[in-house]
Amino acid sequence: WIAILDYGSQVTQLIARRIREQKVYCEIIRFDTSAEELKKRAPKGIILSGGPCSVPDEDSPKCDPALFDLGIPILGICYGMQLTAHTLGGSVKPGLKREYGKAMMTITKDSPLFKGLAPDLQVWMSHGDKVETMPEGFEAVAESDNCPYATMQNLDRNIFGVQFHPEVVHTPQGKEMLWNFAFKVCKCSGDWEMSKFVEDTIRQIRKQVGENHVLLGLSGGVDSSVVAALLHKAIGTQLHCVYVDNGLMRYRETEEIEDLFGRAFGIDLHVAHAGDLFLGKLKGVSDPEQKRKIIGSTFIDVFAEKARGLSDKVKFLGQGTLYPDVIESVSPIGGPSATIKSHHNVGGLPDDLQFDLVEPLRELFKDEVREVGRELGLPSYVVDRQPFPGPGLAVRIIGDITPERIEVLQQADLRVREEIMKMTNHLDVWQYFAVLLPIQTVGVMGDDRTYESVVAVRAVESRDGMTADWYKLPYEVMDSISNRIINEVPGVNRVCYDISSKPPSTIEWE
Ligand code: XMP
């Protein structure tokens, strides 16, 4: 495996992804992990990430200098390169001017990092400081206009530094460089497969859980579905899943979950059919935040009641925590998830229901989770499922929520999904759904005038849901969506397409 020491760069996760894409396992660990600890864990290579601080600054995060004496190959990226230079006796010049963006780099000496690459390469720079003098034993391998030491190396000690960022797509050959580091320099074997992850994780789960039982809240989303399949494979009947049907799910979603997890997988699944309870509490409520609050607290109540009825051997709660949720807690500058704790007091559950956590996906990125799901035999409609908000269709029904309006939206939404899923590239669309508006407009049907509801169609492309652009659906697809909704869904006589991006709009309408 390869250890990535995190100095707080926004793109540290990308280093991990690029390495894992080569089937080499890696972990992002604390920037101040000791050489002794690393020696014990014996990685085949160490990467020092970039970061926002300035190495000459006394308070900036440093590494254990003994790392460089372990005999393990090291690659410093940006801040990591400067830290390497600083620690080994070179000097770093605080930058007066920030270099940011594309640069051309010329390779001037042979380096295993650049094996097989052309001598002139485009790279992505993002730094203020730079290495002024290299430490003894190092040679410059590549230069750019702004940076005489765009890359440095000490071949005897297998220590490398690059001022640019090989992990981002704007360094087109960056992937090859990281491949060279992992395979040519660190001699990794590239045998990290999802099947192996599944085997190892099942063993760990059994060890952690022992004879105890595990409770899992199954939502039908990708993460909880994969956790369910994984836990079931590991501990079988010691797993109890609770699924809360809040009456605000998409068409036939609850039945699909019962069929797949309850019947096909044979998981001990407890479904709380609580639609009426939720709808009762939502009666007359049209404020989005109030809807969310009511749904959130009712969910906890219903879930807790089901959970109390389960085996008193339940000591653990399964959670679909993913790697991006835990990473920031190791960075020197902290981050939004720095406060995430790994045990107890989860999700607002009452005091009598506090458990230790089982988080078998903690080390995985989303696309790896999908791969594990496939490995475990989950169908594509589960592993490739689009994100769906916790409050469900409630935030897509603008205004009052009634059983009739839920039915109209479910039917319209089904047609949006069916038509878009006919596109061969539908997996490129991040989310697509229908929204029911609280207005009525005039139409004609045959000889009659109609006065019925409007449905808005929303389809967006996005990487992470934080920003998004409206998806340029082909006209034919829009056409068939509109035709089918207007002809097949009673109560709707007009369809609009939402052409706003986020920001300033959001993906959901509420
Ligand atoms: P917005 O609408 O804020 O949505 O652009 C960003 C992403 O988050 C999802 N979303 C939610 N997910 N509970 C959730 O679990 C919520 O209350 C919620 N609101 C929005 C949304 O579907 C999109 O993927």
Q: Considering the domain boundaries, does residue 362 fall inside one?
A: yes
Q: How far apart are CA 459 and CA 434, in angstroms?
A: 9
Tell me whether 0.95 is exceeded by the ipTM: yes
Could you confirm whether 368 is annotated as catalytic? no
pTM of the model: 0.83
Ligand 1 pocket residue status of 460, Cβ below 6 Å: no
For residue 458, the CA-to-ligand 1 centroid distance in Å is: 13
Pairing mode, if any, of strands 91-93 and 74-77? unpaired
Domain endpoint, select from 135, 164, 185: 185
Single-letter code of the amino acid located at 403: P
Confidence (pLDDT) at 118: 95
Whether residue 443 is found in the same domain as residue 303: no
Q: Assign 150 to helix, strand or coil.
A: strand
Q: Which residue has the tokens 């059919």?
A: 273
The C-alpha torsion from 90 through 94 and 100 to 104, rounded to 10°, is -40
Q: Report residue 156 as tokens.
A: 């005897």
Does 221 count as an annotated binding residue?
A: yes
Ligand 1 pocket residue status of 385, Cβ below 6 Å: no
Q: How far apart are CA 197 and CA 203, in angstroms?
A: 10
Q: Are 69 and 105 in contact (CB under 8 A)?
A: no
Alpha helices in 377-491 (DSSP H): 380-383, 403-421, 475-488
Q: Are 95 and 135 in contact (CB under 8 A)?
A: no
What CATH number is attached to the domain comprising 474?
A: 3.30.300.10
Q: Are 158 and 112 in contact (CB under 8 A)?
A: no
Q: Atom 21 of ligand 1 has which residue's CA nearest to it?
A: 389
Q: How far apart are CA 180 and CA 182, in angstroms?
A: 6
Q: Considering the domain boundaries, does residue 509 fall inside one?
A: no
- DSSP annotation of 386 reads P
- Region of 482 (left: φ > 0; alpha: ψ -120 to 50; beta: rest) is alpha
Q: What is the pLDDT of residues 76-88, one digit of tens each?
A: 999 999 999 999 9
Whether residue 18 is found in the same domain as residue 81: yes
Single-letter code of the amino acid located at 409: L
Does 326 count as an annotated binding residue?
A: no
Q: How many residues does the chain have?
A: 510
What CATH number is attached to the domain comprising 100?
A: 3.40.50.880
How many other C-beta atoms lie within 10 A of the C-beta of residue 153?
26
Does 54 count as an annotated binding residue?
A: no
Ligand 1 pocket residue status of 105, Cβ below 6 Å: no
Confidence (pLDDT) at 252: 97
Does 225 count as an annotated binding residue?
A: yes
Distance of CA 4 to the CA centre of its chain: 18
Q: Are 308 and 7 in contact (CB under 8 A)?
A: no
For residue 205, the CA-to-ligand 1 centroid distance in Å is: 31
Ligand 1 pocket residue status of 65, Cβ below 6 Å: no
Could you confirm whether 240 is annotated as catalytic? no
Q: Considering the domain boundaries, does residue 43 fall inside one?
A: yes
Confidence (pLDDT) at 146: 87
Whether residue 322 is found in the same domain as residue 426: no
Q: What is the pLDDT of residues 471-489, one digit of tens each?
A: 999 999 999 999 999 999 9
Catalytic site residue from 165, 213, 232, 240 = 165
Whether residue 209 is found in the same domain as residue 302: yes
**Cis preceding linkage at 503, omega within 30:** yes
Could you confirm whether 63 is annotated as catalytic? no
Q: What is the pLDDT of residues 198-227, one digit of tens each?
A: 999 999 999 999 999 999 999 999 999 999
Angstrom CA distances, 463 to 321, 433, 460, stand at 19, 17, 10
Domain that holds residue 249: 194-383
In ligand 1, the atom with minimum distance to the C-alpha of 502 is: 5
* Residue from 463, 507, 510 to probe ligand 1 pocket by mutation (most atoms less than 8 Å from CB): 507
Whether residue 267 is found in the same domain as residue 243: yes
Whether residue 288 is found in the same domain as residue 159: no
Whether residue 245 is found in the same domain as residue 358: yes
> Any idea what the Cα angle at residue 427 is, between residues 365 and 481, rounded to 5°?
145
In ligand 1, the atom with minimum distance to the C-alpha of 509 is: 2
Confidence (pLDDT) at 97: 77
Ligand 1 pocket residue status of 292, Cβ below 6 Å: yes
Whether residue 404 is found in the same domain as residue 433: yes
The continuous run of DSSP H or E covering 216 comes out as strand 213-217
Whether residue 264 is found in the same domain as residue 247: yes
Q: Are 151 and 160 in contact (CB under 8 A)?
A: yes
Q: How far apart are CA 188 and CA 198, in angstroms?
A: 21
Ligand 1 pocket residue status of 175, Cβ below 6 Å: no
In ligand 1, the atom with minimum distance to the C-alpha of 462 is: 24
Confidence (pLDDT) at 260: 97
Whether residue 172 is found in the same domain as residue 277: no
Confidence (pLDDT) at 484: 98
pLDDT (tens place) for every residue of the chain, 510 residues total? 999 999 998 888 899 999 999 999 999 999 999 999 999 999 999 999 999 999 999 999 999 999 999 999 999 999 999 999 999 999 999 877 788 899 999 999 999 999 999 999 999 999 999 999 999 999 999 999 889 999 999 999 999 999 999 999 899 999 999 999 999 999 999 998 889 899 999 999 999 999 999 999 999 999 999 999 999 999 999 999 999 999 999 999 999 999 999 999 999 999 999 999 999 999 999 999 999 999 999 999 999 999 999 988 999 999 999 987 776 556 666 543 333 333 333 467 888 888 999 999 998 989 899 999 999 999 999 999 999 999 999 999 999 999 999 999 999 999 999 999 999 999 999 999 999 999 999 999 888 999 999 999 999 999 888 889 999 999 999 999 999 999 999 999 999 999 999 999 999 999
Does 311 count as an annotated binding residue?
A: no
